[in-house]
A and B are shown apart, each in its own frame.
Chain A
Amino acid sequence: DIQMTQSPASLSTSLEEIVTITCQASQDIGNWLSWYQQRPGKSPQLLIYGATSLADGVPSRFSGSRSGTQFSLKISRLQVEDIGIYYCLQAWRTPWTFGGGTKLELK
């Protein structure tokens, strides 16, 4: 199975800060990576697909990038509604596998 190592596991940050979350794939997955946000008590929601493409309706402060097998999600100016847990997902090979999640909290 492809392992997705996500870091950090948790992050305490402030509003308007820049936040960067990374996922390292254990092998080449091309751009077959997506990012999801899960607010407390809610289902995951798509943010980024194809490593860099912003999903419809997602604010432009979210962006995704790729460098080889390392993927990053950046939130340019954290807002209160961005608090939650973020996951990456690889869909290159079955079984699809998620990163362990990054929990964003406010200081």
Chain B
Amino acid sequence: QVQLKESGPGLVQPSQTLSLTCTVSGFSLTSYSVHWVRQHSGRSLEWMGRVWSDGVTSFNSAFTSRLSITRDTSKSQIFLKLNSLQTEDTGTYYCARSYLSHGLPLFDYWGQGVLVTVPS
């Protein structure tokens, strides 16, 4: 069955770089796009970026120059790196799969999320 699972450190110091891994199973990264979404304080959701099935990436301009998303298709893993972390980067980070149903995009599977804290 389809699964996505995020992993990474729960605590990152200010100004450091966050590195997260999303490990997927049950589908191929060459057939689906995978996105990163973060959630602040259990409420607002923010789309960060995605890697398309062909490997092309696109990002939310709010993270321009701080964010990179890469993948290793042989390991079924997607990697997020966010540098220059600040306290406002505290939140739960999700990876999610998207596809087009009748030409309309949707998120059909989400990981469990990983809580990242940037202390003040």
Interface residues of A (CB under 8 A from B): 31-32, 34, 36, 43-46, 49-50, 53, 55, 85, 87, 89, 91, 94-98, 100-101
Contacts and interface: CB of A to CB of B under 8 A. Distances in A.
Interface residues of B, number: 25
Nearest to B35: A96
A84 to B, nearest CB: 11
B106 interface: yes
Contact of A53 (B61, B101, B112): B101
Interface string B22-57: 000000000000010000000111110000000000
Interface of B: 35, 43-47, 58-62, 94, 96, 98, 101-102, 104-108, 110-113
A50 B101 contact: yes
A91 B35 CA distance: 12
Contacts of B43: 85, 100-101
Contacts of A98: 44-47
Contacts of B98: 91
Contacts of A97: 47
A32 B60 contact: no
